[in-house]
Amino acid sequence: MIRFLIRRTLLGIFVLWLITMAVFGLFYVTPNNVARTLAGRQATPATIHLIQERLGLDQPLWKQYFDFVGNALHGNLGYDYYHQVPVTTIIAQALPITVSLSLGAAILWMIIGVGNGVISAVRPRSIADRGLTVFSLVFYSMPTFVLGLLFLYFLYFKLTLAGYDWFPAGGYVPLTDDPAQWARSLILPWFTLALVLAATYTRLTRGSMLDVLSEDYIRTARSKGIRERRVVMRHGLRSALTPVVTQFGIDLGQLIGGVVVTETVFSLPGLGKTSIDAINQQDLPVIVGIVLFASAAVVLANILVDVVYAVLDPRVRLH
Amino acid sequence: MNAENPKAETLREDVEHAERVPTTGESAGARTVAAVPAKKIEGRSPWALAWDRLRRDKVAMISLLIIVLIALMAIFAPVFTAWTGHPPNEQYHSTGLTLNGLPKPPSSTFYLGTDDLGRDVLVRIAYGARISLLVGVIATLITVAIGVVVGLAAGFLGGLVDTALARLIDVVLSVPFLLVAIALVSITGPSLTVTILVIGFFSWASVARIVRGQVLSLREREFVEAARSLGAGSSRIMFVDILPNVLAQVIVYTTLLIPVVIVVQATLSFLGLGLPPPTADWGGMISEGQAYYRVAWWFVLFPSVALVITTLAFNLFGDGVRDAFDPRTDQLLNK
């Protein structure tokens, strides 16, 4: 187990190193006119040069890279080009929003996904099963931004027009300010993110539950006289969850994509929207910082998922 | 391709049936055994069997029909221009916009309404289908090609090659795809080629992982040994003997990957990183329409509907293809 963890951690660090190289390299190799943009229209070449010097853009590429990595290891991701705010501060401001969004959505999608999957598997071919299969396939086929816009149109715009001011159009209220308003500001984004992803889990749980429920030990459990509910929940679900957990690990990477889109649609100033804004402004340190931070989060989350996996399925620990 | 080694195919089929009997439970097992002689007499290949099952799957066939219709719409997009008299990028400032400069609702001149610049939404949806299908199919083919070659090499060659490639697969899988893709597209500037390459570059790893897993078990089979003892080289064994045996899985994965790729392309467009204007594409149209959803629902709704119908059709068809190649779950349920 310890060796396994060490190997995973080393691999994670290797991944992060590759990502810094790739992102950094690409951004610097391609010409960008940050200095020119910053200097304004009337700038003399001398001013532009001065700005380049201040931002460190006149240094050789390898030196810029080593400075960047060195600083990053000391917890300094640089300053944004436009307002000289530390990137770590920008990330720290955006992070609570992204975490609120993803955590809430993750809980929702696990409940909806696994719950529907179990209902489908317990009575295969029933009306409930068919209904849920269609339901999940429709959401599975729906891009996150389409679902978000549908929610905005019907649940915000139409409802508010009809006099029911239940859901806001967007924006974020910090949890510490007002928990009720926080939940209200996030409910549509949560469902947007969760429903698209939940579909995968419904299909996965259904398939794996069907496999497990036809195993001999389930028949044994039933013939011992254990109640059906307990057979399904305790004996069946536990082993059926293993592929679900694997998928959860894989989806954490995808989740970031969904977060970017959801935050854009509902104008939540989280990491996703911040990175899109930074990309539109060519604000390099912010982009590199967020990509790096997000990759680190994905890598860390994957290691955690592997640990959970080992707890759920003790056989994994043997390898 | 499977005609070249019919022995391997029949062997595989026999082995699969033999393996399935104990795992599918008693009643289902009895069904499988009963079904085998009938299939044996006709001597059909697994491909013919799969095609037969697929043809009887109503949902899959309807989805296929929808896919064909969308493809026809894409190919014959100019017909829509001829029919309505509106080119896709023509801006009708006087007839296509209200006095306040807002999009016009569906009418007898503009069947699905107009967009913010007074362009015909229907014609643009038809032209947009070209982009979605083109990217969906080409990027998927690139993805699958890279994935299959890497998976075959890693699984078959083993040793150092496998270790290196397996690590590479892990690395690519743990990259936050959309964020890096957005960053890449933003540097290189949006274009069709860049979108296709970025999607292909980041998606091959999952294909490679599946193929590698299959090849690892296949290379121990007798037919590989037989091929080697006949003097076949590594590349011949990989592509002529092993590849046909993983092809079924690859085809299933390919059909299910196309809708995913279409959604990724639309997402990039939605975030403003799709194709440079004025090219019509669904994600871009939805993105432009987003600002007008309160006053011009048709501008957002119709491209969204087109997008969702397309991905839904591909997903339903992909499900059908998977069930056709692997009817095990169906047998499990038919007890």
Mutate to test the interface with A, among B167, B169, B179, B335 (most CBs of A within 10 A): B179
Whole-number Å distance between alpha carbons of B287 and A246: 33
Domain finish residue from A60, A86, A112:
A86
Cβ–Cβ of B286/A149 closer than 8 Å? Answer: yes
Mutate to test the interface with B, among A10, A33, A141 (most CBs of B within 10 A): A141
| Interval B266-288 mean pLDDT | 84
Strand partners, A86: A79
Contact A280, A244 (CB under 8 A): no
Instruction: Identify whether residues A35 and A176 lie together within a single domain.
Output: no
Contact B153, B165 (CB under 8 A): yes
Instruction: Identify whether residues A60 and A192 lie together within a single domain.
Output: no
Please give the mean pLDDT across all residues of chain B.
79
pLDDT of residue B10: 44
pLDDT of residue B313: 92
pLDDT of residue A315: 63
pLDDT above 50: residue B170: yes
Q: Tens digit of pLDDT per residue, chain A (319 long)? A: 677 778 778 877 887 787 777 767 766 666 556 666 666 666 677 777 777 776 666 677 777 778 777 777 777 777 777 778 888 888 888 888 888 888 889 889 889 988 888 888 888 778 888 888 888 888 888 888 899 888 888 888 888 887 777 777 777 777 777 788 888 888 889 999 888 888 888 888 888 888 888 888 888 888 888 887 778 877 788 888 877 877 777 676 667 778 888 998 888 888 888 888 888 777 777 887 888 888 788 778 777 777 777 676 666 554 4
Ramachandran angles phi, psi of B103, nearest 5°: -60, 150
Residues of A in contact with B63 (CB under 8 A): none
pLDDT of residue B255: 87
Fold of B61-334: MetI-like fold (1.10.3720)
Positive/negative CA dihedral, A278, A282, A286, A289? positive
Domain finish residue from A86, A113, A142:
A86
pLDDT of residue B68: 93
CATH code of A226's domain: 1.10.3720.10
Instruction: Identify whether residues A25 and A98 lie together within a single domain.
Output: no
Ramachandran angles phi, psi of A272, nearest 5°: -65, -50
Whether cis (ω within 30° of 0) applies to the bond prior to B244 is no
Q: B205-257: per-residue pLDDT in tens? A: 888 988 888 888 888 888 888 888 888 888 888 888 888 888 888 888 888 88
Instruction: Identify whether residues A164 and A289 lie together within a single domain.
Output: yes
Smallest CA–CA distance from A216 into chain B, residue: B25
Instruction: Identify whether residues A211 and A303 lie together within a single domain.
Output: yes
Cβ–Cβ of A15/B329 closer than 8 Å? Answer: no
Instruction: Identify whether residues A67 and A206 lie together within a single domain.
Output: no
Report domain extents, chain B: 6-43, 61-334
Instruction: Identify whether residues A75 and A146 lie together within a single domain.
Output: no
Angle at CA A137, nearest 5°, toward A134 and A138? 85
Of residues B117 and B33, which shows the higher confidence score? Answer: B117
pLDDT of residue A276: 85
Strand partners, A272: none
A179 Cβ under 8 Å from any chain B Cβ: no
Instruction: Identify whether residues A21 and A94 lie together within a single domain.
Output: no
Whole-number Å distance between alpha carbons of A137 and B145: 27
Q: From the list A30, A138, A264, which residue is nearest B188 (CB)?
A: A30
Domain finish residue from A86, A106, A133:
A86
Instruction: Identify whether residues A68 and A138 lie together within a single domain.
Output: no
Instruction: Identify whether residues A42 and A173 lie together within a single domain.
Output: no
Q: From the list B182, B304, B315, which residue is nearest A279 (CB)?
A: B182
Q: B291-327: per-residue pLDDT in tens? A: 888 788 888 889 999 999 999 999 888 888 888 887 6
| pLDDT band with cut points at 50, 70 and 90 for residue B149 | very high
Contact A82, A283 (CB under 8 A): yes
Instruction: Identify whether residues A53 and A152 lie together within a single domain.
Output: no
Could you say which DSSP state residue B113 is in?
-
Instruction: Identify whether residues A20 and A164 lie together within a single domain.
Output: no
Q: Which residues contact B132 (CB under 8 A, 6 or more apart)?
A: B74, B262, B265, B266, B281, B282, B307, B310
pLDDT of residue A34: 60
| pLDDT band with cut points at 50, 70 and 90 for residue B13 | very low
Range(s) of the domain holding residue A106: 88-318
Number of domains in chain A: 2
